[in-house]
Copies of this chain bind each other. A is one copy, B any other.
Amino acid sequence: MAAVHPGSRLRPHVKAHKCTSLAREQYSAGHHSFTCATPSEVLGMVRAGVGDDLLLANEVLDADRLLALSRAQESARITVAVDSDNTLDAAASAGLRDVVIDVNVGLPRCGCSPSDAGRLADRARGYGMNVRGVMGYEGHLMMVADRVEKQRQVHEAMTTLVTAAHDVGGDIISAGGTGTYDLFSGTAVNEVQAGSYALMDSQYATLGLPFEQAMWVVGTVVSTNEQWNVLDVGLKSLGMDHGNPSITDGSVWFCSDEHITFSGTSAKIGDRVRVTPAHIDPTMAMHAVAHVIQDDMVVDTWPIDLRGW
C-alpha cells in the first residue's frame, strides 16, 4: 500500500485494527496522518503518541467527548468531520480548531448534501475555524465486482466530492477504502482512508487485491466425530455481519457463541486451527491482544488498545 500511496497519500484508518502498535508500523512505513472512527480512537492514538495529524472521520455531538478532543489538540493536530450545523456548532463550542466538511457521495450514511458543503465551510470560518477540505466515503462501492463499472462509479462519486471541494476550499480531498484504493488516478483525491488492507478478511479477499491475510483467530479442536469437528472459536470472537468465517480446506457449518462446527478436514482433538474472519474490523474489536507471529512463533503481543467508546 505504501508503494501505491506513499506518505500522506495514505491516511490509514485505525478502525480496522484498533491497535496503536500496528499504527506505529504504519507510521514507520511513512504514513504520519491517520483516520479514526471514534473520539476514543483519536484519544488513544494521542495517548500512544502515534500520528502527527489525526482525522476523526465521523460526526460527534457529545460535548464531553468533543471537549476531550479539544484538550488533546495540545499534543496532536486533530481534525473532525462535520456535516450539519449541529455537528459544526458542537465542534466549535468545544474549541476544536480544524474541520473537514463530510460530503455525501452516495452511501446512505453521514455527509452533507454536496450543495450545502460551501455554506458549512463558510459557517466554520465564521467561527474562526480552519477548514482543511472535504472527505467523502464511497463505502457503497467497495464490493462492486466489475472493475470497469466500479471505476466509473468511483469517478462519478469523486466528481461530486471534487465539486464540493471547490466550494469548500482547503487542501484535503480525502476518500476511499481498501476496496477502491487504486481507482483514484485521474481524480483530485489526494488521500486515501484505507484500513483493512493491513490485516484483510475473507470478504475483501474475494476482490483479488494484492494484500495478504495477516490475522486469524486461532482455536483448538475440542470435539470430533465422523461427521463434524468442533473448534473453540465462536461468534463472540468474530465479526459476523459479513457472514461465517472460513477455515482452510474446511467447510464451516455454523458458528455458536463459543464454537465453530466444521467438516472437511481430518481434524483431531487438540489440533490448532486458524480461522479467517469475514470482517476484520469488528473481529479486532472483540479481542484484548494480538499475538504477533513469525513462522508460527509468537514474537510479540500487541494490546488492541483502541477498543470501546
Cα(A269)–Cα(B38), bound, Å: 18
Q: Within the complex, what minimum Cβ distance (angstroms) separates A259 from chain B?
A: 6
B113 and A225 contacting across the interface, CB-CB below 8 Å? yes
Given contacts A222-B110, A223-B110, contact A58 B239 (CB under 8 A): no
Complex interface residues of chain A between 81 and 104 (CB less than 8 A to chain B): 83-84, 86-87, 104
Cα(A258)–Cα(B40), bound, Å: 12
A220 and B61 contacting across the interface, CB-CB below 8 Å? yes
Binding stretch for chain B, among A67-75, A180-188, A281-289:
A281-289
Q: Which residues of B contact A269 (CB under 8 A)?
A: 61, 84, 86-87
Cβ contact of A222, chosen from B60, B224, B309, cutoff 8 A: B60
Given contacts A86-B269, A241-B235, contact A285 B286 (CB under 8 A): yes
A270 and B61 contacting across the interface, CB-CB below 8 Å? yes
Q: Within the complex, what minimum Cβ distance (angstroms) separates A286 from chain B?
A: 7
Given contacts A87-B222, A240-B240, A241-B235, contact A282 B261 (CB under 8 A): no
Q: Within the complex, what minimum Cβ distance (angstroms) separates A205 from chain B?
A: 19
Complex interface residues of chain A between 176 and 209 (CB less than 8 A to chain B): none
Give how many copies assemble into the complex. Answer: 2
Interface hub of A58, A237, A270 (most chain B Cβ within 10 A): A58
A: interface residue count bin: 35 or more
A255 and B227 contacting across the interface, CB-CB below 8 Å? no
Cβ contact of A223, chosen from B111, B230, B240, cutoff 8 A: B111
Q: Which residues of B contact A251 (CB under 8 A)?
A: none
Interface string of A45-67 (1 = CB under 8 A from B): 00000000000001111100000
Q: Is A211 an interface residue (CB 8 A)?
A: no
Task: List the B residue with the shortest CB-CB distance to A113.
Answer: B225
Cα(A107)–Cα(B256), bound, Å: 11
Given contacts A61-B222, A84-B223, contact A281 B257 (CB under 8 A): yes
Q: Within the complex, what minimum Cβ distance (angstroms) separates A208 from chain B?
A: 24
Q: Within the complex, what minimum Cβ distance (angstroms) separates A306 from chain B?
A: 11
Interface string of A254-276 (1 = CB under 8 A from B): 11111101000000011000000
A contacts, CB < 8 Å to B: 15, 37-38, 58-62, 83-84, 86-87, 104, 108-111, 113, 139, 220, 222-225, 227-228, 230, 232, 235-237, 239-241, 253-259, 261, 269-270, 281-282, 285-286, 288, 308-309
Given A15-B258, A59-B232, A108-B253; 5 other pairs, CB 8 A cutoff: A61-B222, A108-B227, A109-B230, A235-B241, A286-B286
